[in-house]
Copies of this chain bind each other. A is one copy, B any other.
């Protein structure tokens, strides 16, 4: 017990004593409240320095009911979170925004459905002031858990229900998909296939809808469902090629899947874009610029969307539960943009 790490951290009380003021005044100085005369404040600050005082967060949280921490929950049973750069970028945006507002990011990974209970407990435990939830699949119970736990939430990607006080941030998946297909059409493609994402996610469905918008009444076999992995993209591509040897254009619902498709096309000896033009979605630079040929794609500003999620959540927390403020906050749908590289 002689270990130095056992030296009790100084308390506000100690600081106050050393500065010769009351705990309240010390607290005021530490928290930057107005109305403390300069000399006193100075003394307190000195005491803080000398003692190396750091506020005890637990005590503070207990009374303020604020943790300055936000949970990021990834509803991805597969461990796509770590292999797909999409998440990385989004988390980066979130992290930046949170940091700028002195909030901590608490990452909650769910490896499987078993983990949901744990996450629920955590959210309910009052550890965090809010939650950012990603990558929802059909019937995901996470948002419900968060709501029951009374934790303000913002969702990444349009949820599959609509409800005025569910806030989300998404890009215009459908519009972007339309643009992708139109580009293919403009290039003169006659037989265009679609590699869709998992259709239990709205982003996939919306992109598929956009595809159909541009190609009404298309043969459903021209649509192959992937899983947002390179492998899945490859497989879907293979299927499409098998069914339609005359395929001359492909719109993949993600760059990652497009990269898989490109690979397969190469092994099959199809030239891109001469034989088959390919358009992706996301514009994940580390993927799109590195494929061979570089990928034409639909850009969404993923990092910025992350920031927006964080900002929206912080505002919602700020507003508290006060209903009056509710209408002022609304979900955000960002615009997409066609980025032409070499693949189409």
Instruction: List A residues at the B interface (Cβ < 8 Å).
Output: 1-7, 9, 52, 54-59, 61-62, 67, 69, 79, 81-83, 85, 88-89, 91-92, 95-96, 99, 102, 104-109, 111, 115, 118, 121-122, 124-127, 148-150, 152, 230, 286, 290, 320-323
Which of these, B59, B107, B121, contacts A62 with CB under 8 Å? B59
**Can you report 27 A-B residue pairs in the complex whose CB atoms are below 8 A from each other?**
A3-B323, A5-B150, A5-B321, A6-B320, A6-B321, A52-B124, A54-B124, A55-B125, A56-B62, A56-B126, A57-B58, A58-B61, A58-B62, A59-B62, A82-B85, A82-B88, A82-B89, A83-B88, A95-B107, A95-B109, A95-B111, A96-B111, A104-B127, A105-B106, A105-B107, A105-B108, A105-B109
Q: Is the CB of B322 within 8 A of A1?
A: yes
| Contact residues in B for A92 (Cβ distance below 8 Å) | 79, 82, 109
| Contact residues in B for A69 (Cβ distance below 8 Å) | 106, 127
Q: Is the CB of B83 within 8 A of A99?
A: no
Smallest CB-CB separation from A114: which chain B residue?
A: B99
Q: Is the CB of B126 within 8 A of A7?
A: no
Q: Is the CB of A286 within 8 A of B83?
A: yes
Q: Is the CB of B1 within 8 A of A126?
A: no
Distance between Cα atoms of A115 and B92 in the complex (Å):
14
Q: Is the CB of B89 within 8 A of A115?
A: no
Distance between Cα atoms of A111 and B91 in the complex (Å):
12
- Please indicate which of the listed interface residues A2, A7, A148, A321 has the most CB atoms of chain B within 10 Å of its own CB: A321
Q: Is the CB of A125 within 8 A of B88?
A: no
Q: Is the CB of A126 within 8 A of B9?
A: yes
